[in-house]
Amino acid sequence: MLHTDSDKFLNQVSGSCLLGIDFGMQKIGIAVGYIKTKLAIPITVIQRKTPKLDLEIIASNIKQFGACGILIGAMYDGKTTKLDKHLERFICNLYVLNMPIMLVNEENTTKIAQHIMRESGMVRKIRDAKDDMIAASIMLEIFLNNTISNL
């Protein structure tokens, strides 16, 4: 089920690990975040080939890390774009995983990821290869810190 309300989403989540997805037309950034610690870890970047292969890799990461919900970063600019239609299809493909899914605002997370890596001295080729998984982890941490009350 797709959620836009964080309380309803978290009520559906049955564990402590969330999978974060920074969706793109060529790459998908994957990260995992932990509800109790409010920390996220970048995992991998999927070089998109087919929807079926994307889904297999995502399902494998869900199983490996025990994720119980999926956060997908989306731009909330109020306009319908080509990416929006692709994102909608991507989300429909994720329904077979039978997990709660939530859209969150990921505005500027890739820019923030690029900035952090540039400041750490990473060369552009490496930054471009890793920016989506870093962006997914930033998105997860923002969500966790803004949504989960202090324990």
Q: Is residue 127 a part of any domain in this protein?
A: yes
Domain that holds residue 132: 2-31+41-147
Give the CATH number of the domain where residue 16 resides.
3.30.420.140
Q: Is residue 9 a part of any domain in this protein?
A: yes
Domains: count for the chain? 1
Tokens coding 115: 């900035």
CA distance 20 to 137: 7
Amino acid at 58: I
Q: Is residue 80 a part of any domain in this protein?
A: yes
Q: Is residue 54 a part of any domain in this protein?
A: yes
Q: How do the pLDDT tens digits run along the chain, 151 residues long? A: 788 888 899 999 988 999 999 998 899 999 999 999 999 999 999 999 999 999 999 999 999 999 999 999 877 554 555 557 888 899 999 999 999 999 887 777 777 666 676 677 766 766 565 678 888 998 999 899 988 875 4
CA distance 76 to 99: 23
DSSP string of 99-126? Answer: --EEEEE-TTHHHHHHHHHHHTT--HHH
Q: Is residue 36 a part of any domain in this protein?
A: no
From residue 44, alpha-carbon distances to 3, 20, 123 in Å are 24, 11, 18
Q: Is residue 91 a part of any domain in this protein?
A: yes
